[in-house]
């Protein structure tokens, strides 16, 4: 049975009324898109993105109160972003900020619909991935964990071997992926990265740290219920009380308990 398509919730953010009107007119012609809001400044864009959690945002870069890049730095919900601007000089920074695409005003209808189709496909693929992650029986081996982690870094798509990933460090709106050789700084949430990795191999030990258990060489108790986690490369991390249960659960499969 075919799964019915869920409307793609979309927000328009542009300080120019004619620009918003044109985007609205083009989007309203697509039955798969549902416009959930419009705004004319960066502060309102931040508020509406956090409140409405749209799947897709068409956003100008130069806006009052906060520009498009400041909006991205302020939010913790990450929709697909299409920047719409009259300034070609913003193209490279836009892709470095991991925007899905870039529309240069004035744009052709054909260019707009090409970008919209790309955005829809991107959102559908992510939704399908989420359904697979949540499907019954996933933990019992119904889906083979990915061996490649594909991320955007400095405007490029980077294909990383999961086996080379040692640990993940949260850094505000970004994460740093620490590999056996080098690291990558990418605009992702810790939760989104965690959802892409095998839960039997990677465990969250702190609000800002996710670790490949194969890289752990020692766990030492600290005062207050926390623990010191030593990795094979000498990195020292903290296992906080809040995240003890995740590592405890993995260790219990080998009849091992964390030190108290």
Range of the domain at 14: 8-133
Q: Does residue 257 belong to any structural domain of this protein? A: no
127 and 52 assigned to the same domain? yes
Q: Does residue 120 belong to any structural domain of this protein? A: yes
pLDDT value of position 128: 67
Q: Does residue 258 belong to any structural domain of this protein? A: no
53 and 126 assigned to the same domain? yes
Of 133, 159, 184, the domain-final residue? 133
Q: Does residue 259 belong to any structural domain of this protein? A: no
What is the CATH number for 158? 2.40.50.1020
33 and 59 assigned to the same domain? yes
Is the pLDDT assigned to residue 139 strictly greater than 60?
no
pLDDT value of position 197: 85
pLDDT single digits (tens) 164-220: 999 999 876 688 899 988 888 888 888 888 888 888 889 999 888 999 988 999 988
At residue 50's C-alpha, the angle toward residues 38 and 8, to 5°, is 60
119 and 32 assigned to the same domain? yes
Helix (H, G, I), strand (E, B) or coil at 21: helix
CA–CA gap between residue 115 and residue 123 (Å, rounded):
12
CA–CA gap between residue 147 and residue 161 (Å, rounded):
6
Strand partners for 238: 228
CA–CA gap between residue 107 and residue 62 (Å, rounded):
17
Is the pLDDT assigned to residue 138 strictly greater than 50?
no
pLDDT value of position 98: 66
CA–CA gap between residue 227 and residue 244 (Å, rounded):
9
CA–CA gap between residue 238 and residue 25 (Å, rounded):
52
Please give the structure tokens belonging to residue 170.
Answer: 């949260």
129 and 151 assigned to the same domain? no
Name the average pLDDT for the chain: 83
Is the pLDDT assigned to residue 20 strictly greater than 90?
yes
3-state helix, strand, coil split of the chain in percent (to 5) is 35, 30, 30
Domain tally for the chain?
Answer: 2
110 and 159 assigned to the same domain? no
Q: Does residue 1 belong to any structural domain of this protein? A: no
For the segment 19-39, the average pLDDT, to the nearest whole number, is: 94
Lookup result for tokens 């308990």: 257
157 and 94 assigned to the same domain? no
220 and 157 assigned to the same domain? yes
Q: Does residue 213 belong to any structural domain of this protein? A: yes
pLDDT single digits (tens) 53-100: 999 999 999 999 999 888 887 887 778 889 998 888 877 777 666 678
pLDDT band at 147 (very low <50, low <70, confident <90, very high): confident
For the segment 5-26, the average pLDDT, to the nearest whole number, is: 92
CA–CA gap between residue 74 and residue 68 (Å, rounded):
10
Is the pLDDT assigned to residue 142 strictly greater than 90?
no
128 and 154 assigned to the same domain? no
Comparison of pLDDT for 229 and 75, the residue scoring more: 229
Please give the structure tokens belonging to residue 85.
Answer: 């601007």
Q: Does residue 2 belong to any structural domain of this protein? A: no
Please give the structure tokens belonging to residue 233.
Answer: 């490369």
What is the CATH number for 83? 3.40.50.2300
In terms of Cα–Cα distance, which of 48, 45, 35, 50 is closest to 15?
A: 45
Comparison of pLDDT for 246 and 178, the residue scoring more: 178
CA–CA gap between residue 214 and residue 194 (Å, rounded):
16
At residue 120's C-alpha, the angle toward residues 35 and 188, to 5°, is 95
Please give the structure tokens belonging to residue 30.
Answer: 């697509």
96 and 200 assigned to the same domain? no
101-104 sheet: strands from edge to edge:
33-39, 8-13, 56-60, 80-85, 101-104
Residues near 125 by Cβ (< 8 Å), separated by ≥ 6? none
12 and 96 assigned to the same domain? yes
Of 108, 133, 158, the domain-final residue? 133
Start-to-end C-alpha separation, the chain: 51
pLDDT value of position 43: 94
> What pTM value is reported for the model?
0.55
**Sign of the Cα pseudo-torsion (114, 120, 123, 129, in order):** negative
Of 133, 164, 196, the domain-final residue? 133
208 and 109 assigned to the same domain? no
Q: Does residue 168 belong to any structural domain of this protein? A: yes
């Amino acid at each position: 049975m075919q799964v019915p398509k869920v409307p793609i919730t979309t927000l328009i953010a542009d300080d120019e009324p004619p620009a918003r009107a044109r985007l609205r007119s083009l989007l309203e012609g697509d039955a798969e898109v549902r416009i959930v809001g419009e705004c004319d400044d960066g502060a309102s864009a931040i508020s509406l993105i956090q409140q409405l959690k749209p799947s897709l945002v068409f956003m100008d870069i130069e806006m009052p109160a906060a520009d498009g890049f400041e909006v991205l730095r302020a939010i913790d919900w990450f929709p697909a972003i299409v920047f719409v601007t009259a300034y070609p000089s913003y193209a490279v920074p836009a892709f470095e900020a991991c925007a899905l695409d870039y529309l240069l005003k004035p744009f052709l209808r054909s260019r707009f619909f090409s970008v919209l189709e790309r955005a829809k496909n991107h959102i559908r693929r992510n939704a399908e991935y989420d359904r697979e992650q949540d499907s019954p029986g996933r933990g019992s081996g119904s889906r083979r964990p990915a061996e490649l982690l594909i991320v955007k870094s400095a405007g490029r798509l980077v294909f990383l071997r999961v086996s080379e990933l040692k640990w993940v460090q949260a850094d505000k709106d970004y994460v740093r992926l620490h590999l056996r050789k080098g690291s990558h700084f990418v605009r992702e949430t810790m939760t989104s990265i965690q959802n892409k990795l095998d839960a039997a191999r990677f465990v969250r030990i702190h609000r800002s740290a996710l670790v490949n258990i194969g890289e752990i060489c020692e766990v030492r108790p600290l005062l207050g219920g926390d623990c010191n986690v030593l990795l094979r490369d000498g990195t020292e991390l903290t296992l906080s009380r809040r995240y003890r249960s995740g590592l405890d659960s993995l260790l219990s499969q080998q009849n091992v308990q964390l030190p108290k």
